[in-house]
Amino acid sequence: MSDFFRRFSQKAAELLGSAWAFVAAALIIILWAATGPLFNFSDTWQLVINTGTTIITFLMVFLIQNTQNRDTKAFHLKIDELIRAQSHARNSLIRLEEMSDEQLENLHQEFRRISQQREHHRARNPHTAATKPGEPAAPSATPH
């Protein structure tokens, strides 16, 4: 069942996210609006579009959420592999998405401090500041 839903939701998201789907939806709205005078803009006429859009929106939430969850998981796995493969990277960051909000904020502040220290170092030493450990220094502005 879950494999069927995965394939269905990915295909549906692909099709319904296309320009053709938008054009079709716009044409349906134009057709509905054009029939207003024919039905004297009745409550039933309004109910048709309200019910239709509500049902479609309700179902699309699940399809979009499913594809978003899969994309997010795949993205995290790719990033985890990049972290794991780098010798200078902190492997503790691999499961970052499982940290609490407080832990994430602390880590955010740590990276902000690191960034500010690097910028400060670059401002003071523009020709020798390296961006990463082991990275060569920036080339000199004066000719050799």
Residues 25 and 56 in one domain: yes
Query: Per-residue pLDDT for 135 more than 60?
Result: no
Q: pLDDT confidence of 133, banded at 50, 70, 90? A: low
What is the reported pLDDT for 49?
95
pLDDT tens profile 7-38: 888 888 889 889 999 999 999 999 999 999 99
pLDDT tens profile 57-89: 999 999 889 889 999 999 988 988 888 888 888
- For residue 134, is it within any domain? no
- For residue 72, is it within any domain? yes
- For residue 135, is it within any domain? no
pLDDT tens profile 110-131: 989 989 999 988 888 877 655 5
- For residue 111, is it within any domain? yes
Domain encompassing residue 71: 2-89
What is the reported pLDDT for 130?
54
- For residue 102, is it within any domain? yes
Q: Reduce the secondary structure of the chain to three states and give it as a string.
A: CHHHHHHHHHHHHHHHCCHHHHHHHHHHHHHHHHCCCCCCCCHHHHHHHHHHHHHHHHHHHHHHHHHHHHHHHHHHHHHHHHHHHCCCCCHHHCCHHHCCHHHHHHHHHHHHHHHHHHHHHHHHCCCCCCCCCCCCCCCCCCCC
